[in-house]
């Protein structure tokens, strides 16, 4: 058996949570492979809405095992908050969730360091989610991190203290010395670490590979998006993990030859939260309309999402890097009432037309080259079968498939689980 991977092709918030939930009944195991509580994955069904941050989006279906993989960074405090809120809604995670002992822990001082780093950058700040993601992955790669499994070791308290002292020295160097709330944060964090021990802490790489040997089906859930990948995204305005399909190999211990289908998710338009380049961003009424109709506000921070037309230069790059086998188009309904739909097919940089994503999209002026297509002017929220889709919409899909060379196999026409069209070519 092979694992399938589902990931974002843009700058995050493409709708990964919703589709993982829709596809979960086809799988036995759902596993997150990177990122942390910077993610906000929204699911809607039976009139209720849930936002998941560290917990995989397969927990609401029945019978699947959900795994937080080694590539994830976990904040015990936010995890406890999320798990307890779910328990209130009737989901007992202790039965369906397993956590890798190799996942790295986000410490209270990682969050403080995240804020201190951002303050030190001033106008050049990344606009992080403030969850301590960068400092935690930095400690991981500099071999200073603490892992979930370390909480079971006798020297955990000393190692925690050493990490904290190191972080305090780093913050002093950044000119941040007031940490009056740290004792309280720390107390809360240590209690949450105790709470973590109620869960099944496992060697998830063995668990997943054994599951594959037994013929079980595994879906790997990405967080963020390809343009936020630390290697291939719009660096330095990125997150600190590999969000691309290769991240599923390192983030779960799955060998490259065990990757099956790669589901690449994108919005029928494009959004971004935080700072950094966004070639097709709209600053006019059209962008505002996308934000209003699509409710484009961050699931974690509530920040306004920047909106613009779909960028096929960036998408083509994402399809290449990830080896996408299936495209999934989200939020098509948001464009239902637009007269014209634009798709960026190339960039004009210094008079030259560029169709491959270049190294620098930050310090140069980019003029997007658009192809205009007629809008479908039909409400699609209630449609459940592809035969009922308006022709101008299927023409838009066919245009994207031709440009990207990969079929669109699932369409989403609303936030609810039911508002999903699985096409015949799936
Ligand atoms: P994720 O981080 O990729 O899981 O995406 P988010 O949950 O951050 O953002 C996607 C938002 O769009 C959420 O509010 C979803 O409820 C909503 N959504 C998902 N699919 C659709 C869709 O097809 N149409 C509309 N209108 N909203 C959608
Ligand atoms: P999901 O999984 C959208 C963005 C932040 C910031 C940059 C770095 O819901 O799609 P970080 O806190 O990771 O150091 O911030 O990345 N970012 C996201 N944007 N969706 C996300 O996750 C994001 N996670 C991080 O806004 O620009
Ligand atoms: Mg999100």
Q: Given 4, 28, 41, 114, which residue is catalytic?
A: 41
- Look at ligand 1, atom 2, and give the residue with the nearest C-alpha: 13
Q: Computed from CA positions of residues 308, 309, 311, 315, in that sequence, does the dihedral angle turn out positive or negative?
A: positive
By alpha-carbon position, which residue is closest to atom 23 of ligand 2? Answer: 224
Residue 329: alpha-carbon gap to chain centroid: 16
Judge residue 286's burial from the number of C-beta atoms within 10 Å of its C-beta, 0-12 exposed, 13-18 middle, 19 or more buried.
Answer: middle
In testing the pocket of ligand 1, which one of 7, 9, 13, 18 has its CB within 8 Å of the most ligand atoms?
18
What CA–CA distance (Å, rounded) separates 183 from 199? Answer: 26
For 212-271, how does the pLDDT look when each residue is reduced to its tens digit (9 = 90+)? 999 999 999 999 999 999 999 999 999 999 999 999 999 999 999 999 999 999 999 999
Total residue count of the chain as it appears in this document: 426
Phi-psi category of residue 384: left, alpha or beta, with phi > 0 → left and psi -120 to 50 → alpha:
alpha
d(CA 28, CA 62): 10
415 CA to centre of ligand 1 in angstroms: 6
* Residue 71 near residue 36 (C-beta atoms within 8 A): no
| Neighbouring residues of 387: CB distance < 8 A, sequence distance ≥ 6 | none
For 284-382, strand residue ranges (E) read: 306-308, 310-311, 326-330, 340-349, 352-354, 366-374
What pLDDT, in 10s, does the model give residues 290-301? Answer: 999 999 998 777
Q: Which burial class, exposed, middle or buried, applies to 323 when counting CB atoms under 10 A from its CB (0-12, 13-18, 19+)? A: middle
pLDDT per residue as tens, the chain (426 positions): 999 999 999 999 999 999 999 999 999 999 999 999 999 999 999 999 999 999 999 999 988 999 999 999 999 999 999 999 999 999 999 989 999 999 999 999 999 999 999 999 999 999 999 999 999 999 999 999 999 999 999 999 999 999 999 999 999 999 988 899 999 999 999 999 999 999 999 999 999 999 999 999 999 999 999 999 999 999 999 999 999 999 999 999 999 999 999 999 999 999 999 999 999 999 999 999 999 999 999 877 788 999 999 999 999 999 999 999 999 999 999 999 999 999 999 999 999 999 999 999 999 999 999 999 999 999 999 999 999 999 999 999 999 999 999 999 999 999 999 999 999 999
Residue 41: active-site member? yes
The structure tokens listed for 26 are: 């086809």
133 CB within 6 A, ligand 2 = yes
CA 423 / ligand 3 centre spacing (Å) = 24
Tell me the CA–centroid distance for residue 297 and ligand 3, in Å. 10
Distance from C-alpha of 12 to C-alpha of 224, rounded to nearest angstrom: 4
Determine the Cα–Cα distance for residues 136 and 177; give it in Å rounded to an integer: 20
Any ligand 2 atom below 6 A from CB of 110: no
Q: Which residues contact 16 (CB under 8 A, 6 or more apart)?
A: 6, 7, 8, 41, 57, 221, 222, 223, 265
264 lines ligand 2 (CB under 6 A): no
- Asked if 90 and 149 touch (Cβ cutoff 8 Å), the reply is no
What is d(CA 93, CA 385) in angstroms, rounded to the nearest whole number? 34
Verify whether residue 326 is a known catalytic residue.
no
């Amino acid at each position: 058996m092979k694992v399938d991977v589902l990931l974002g092709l843009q700058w995050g918030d493409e709708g990964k949570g919703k589709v993982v939930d829709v596809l979960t009944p086809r799988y036995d195991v759902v596993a997150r492979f990177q990122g942390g509580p910077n993610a906000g994955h929204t699911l809607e069904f039976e009139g209720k809405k849930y936002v998941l941050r560290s917990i995989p989006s397969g927990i609401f279906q029945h019978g699947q095992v959900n795994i937080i993989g080694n590539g994830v960074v976990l904040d015990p405090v936010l995890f406890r908050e999320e798990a307890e809120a779910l328990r209130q809604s009737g989901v007992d995670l202790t039965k369906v969730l397993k956590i890798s002992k190799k996942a790295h822990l986000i410490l209270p001082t990682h969050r403080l360091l995240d804020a201190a780093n951002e303050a030190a950058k001033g106008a050049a700040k990344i606009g992080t989610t403030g969850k301590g993601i960068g400092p935690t992955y930095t400690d991981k790669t500099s071999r200073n991190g603490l892992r979930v499994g370390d909480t079971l070791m006798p020297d955990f308290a000393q190692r925690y203290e050493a990490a904290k002292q190191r972080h305090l020295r780093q913050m002093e160097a950044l000119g941040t010395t007031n940490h009056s709330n740290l004792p309280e944060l720390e107390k809360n964090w240590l209690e949450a670490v105790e709470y973590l021990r109620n869960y099944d802490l496992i060697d998830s790489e063995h668990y997943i590979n054994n599951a594959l040997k037994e013929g079980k089906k595994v879906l790997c859930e990405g967080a963020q998006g390809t343009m936020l990948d630390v290697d291939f995204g719009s660096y330095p305005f990125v997150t600190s993990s590999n969000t691309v399909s290769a991240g599923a190999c390192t983030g779960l211990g799955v060998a490259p030859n065990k990757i099956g289908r790669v589901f690449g998710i994108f919005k029928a338009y494009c959004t971004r939260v935080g700072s950094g380049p966004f070639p097709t961003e709209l600053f006019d009424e059209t962008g505002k309309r996308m934000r209003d109709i699509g409710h484009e506000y961050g699931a974690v921070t509530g920040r306004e999402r920047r909106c613009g037309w779909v960028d096929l230069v960036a998408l083509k790059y994402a399809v290449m890097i990830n080896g996408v086998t299936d495209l999934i188009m989200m939020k098509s309904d948001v464009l239902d009432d637009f007269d014209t739909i634009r798709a960026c097919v190339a960039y004009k940089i210094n008079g030259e037309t560029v169709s491959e994503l270049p190294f620098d999209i930050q310090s140069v002026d980019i003029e997007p080259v658009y192809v205009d297509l007629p809008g479908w002017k039909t409400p699609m929220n209630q449609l459940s079968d592809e035969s009922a889709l308006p022709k101008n919409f299927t023409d838009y899909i066919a245009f994207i498939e031709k440009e990207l060379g990969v079929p669109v196999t699932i369409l989403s026409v609303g936030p609810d689980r039911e508002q999903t069209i699985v096409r015949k070519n799936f």
